Amino acid sequence: MMIYQARGKRALTYAVDGGCDSIAALLPHNVFYLTGFWGEAIFVQGDDGRFLIVPALEIDRAKRDSSDSDVLVLSADRGLQMFELFWDITSKKKVSVDNADYRAVELLKKKSTVKSGDAIERARAIKDENEISRLVKGGMIMDEVIEVAIKKLKEGISERELDAIIVKEYLDNGADLAYYAPSISSNIVSFEENTAYPHHSPTGKKLKKDNMVLLDLTLRYAGYIIDTTRTVSFGRTNEEKREVYELVKLSQQAGVNGAMPGTSARQLDANSRSLLGDYAKYFIHSLGHGIGVEVHELPYISQSSDSILQEGVAMTVEPGIYLPGKFGVRIEDSLIVRKGGPILLNNFNKELIEV
């Protein structure tokens, strides 16, 4: 497939803008993006070709998974020998490398001209049609998982038990778990007062009648992330919960509608935030973020962002209101920015559901 070569060429363009003539990837998700292989490796691309350096135990899998990417796979012993191959390939190059780890970059610099850069991350921000097709399928799976999770709500079930059901649904539908480094769990499953913690990890807390239930679910399908949140009520809601829910829904829909090419990410955040009225002070995170091979990637949709949305960006819109000690509400969709309106990757109901 030419898609991998095109991705590398796009990343190389950004590297050249930064004064380099080659790119290198050490982070597994970037290696995957550029070759189709996810594992321990060093990828290099310059004007003399594309190279994938892997430890001997990965050589066969690397050749199989990267067979469509026009890359020369080289085998070496783990550790220093892999770096020696890198030095041989890059001895006369100026390399933009994705790894911000100081020790790794300093080691690479010993015999090559290397600097940390964001060329690959910038290239990844715009999705190609292959990536979009994977995201669309992942979104369909996520809608099915959410439907199952809500049907499984019953008095006495714990957050962890519901999380286990969700994980099984991922696997049964051909998806994988995805992790966000600051969270110990791949999913946020929270009941009532725990819904006021934006990044809660599931516990043994049991569901009671009239509790709010927040499901912030993240799966990986064919390497790509879908990130979705729905908040429902197990039983009846009171006036305050309904008011908060409707404000979040209004804010979220405004964010979705405004996700158009040319839109300022900062302004999109501000527009959604402004609709929350007196509750805006309880919206304590950004409106959204890019998704792709990472859970959080460019662009960031926040009050401090300088990003301008472009066609082909995959991103989330996820406003929330969190009332400490009481409850929280968040609604989140993943989408693709398109002229004429975004492609919604999630189509599960956003009306307030009382189970």
Q: What is the pLDDT of residues 2-33, one digit of tens each?
A: 999 999 999 999 999 999 999 999 999 999 99
Q: What is the pLDDT of residues 181-208, one digit of tens each?
A: 788 889 999 999 999 999 999 999 999 9
Q: 103 vs 27, 107, 119, 127, 178, CA distance in Å? A: 14, 6, 20, 31, 27
CA distance 268 to 301: 7
Dihedral sign for Cα atoms in the order 260, 264, 267, 272: positive
Mean pLDDT of 48-67: 96
The confidence score (pLDDT) of residue 1 equals: 58
For residues 35 and 11, the answer to whether their CB atoms sit within 8 Å is no
How many residues make up the chain in this entry?
Answer: 355
Please tell me which residue, 146 or 108, carries the higher pLDDT value.
146
> 141 is written with which tokens?
């799976």
Instruction: Using the predicted structure, report yes or no on whether residue 100 has a pLDDT greater than 90.
Output: no
CA distance 209 to 97: 53
CA dihedral angle for residue 181, residue 204, residue 330, residue 294, rounded to 10 degrees = 20
- In which band, very low, low, confident or very high, does the pLDDT at 104 lie, cut at 50, 70 and 90? confident
Instruction: Answer yes or no: pTM beyond 0.85.
Output: yes
CA distance 121 to 163: 31
Q: What is the pLDDT of residues 41-53, one digit of tens each?
A: 999 999 999 999 9
Cα 304 off chain centre by: 20
CA distance 163 to 9: 41
Q: How many CB atoms lie within 10 A of CB 264?
A: 16
Mean pLDDT of 72-83: 92
Ordered structural domains, the chain, with CATH: 3-124 (3.40.350.10), 129-344 (3.90.230.10)
Mean pLDDT of 244-256: 98
CA distance 10 to 275: 38
Q: 327 vs 126, 194, 317, 354, CA distance in Å? A: 36, 7, 20, 15
CA distance 197 to 324: 8
> 165 is written with which tokens?
């059901």
The confidence score (pLDDT) of residue 246 equals: 98
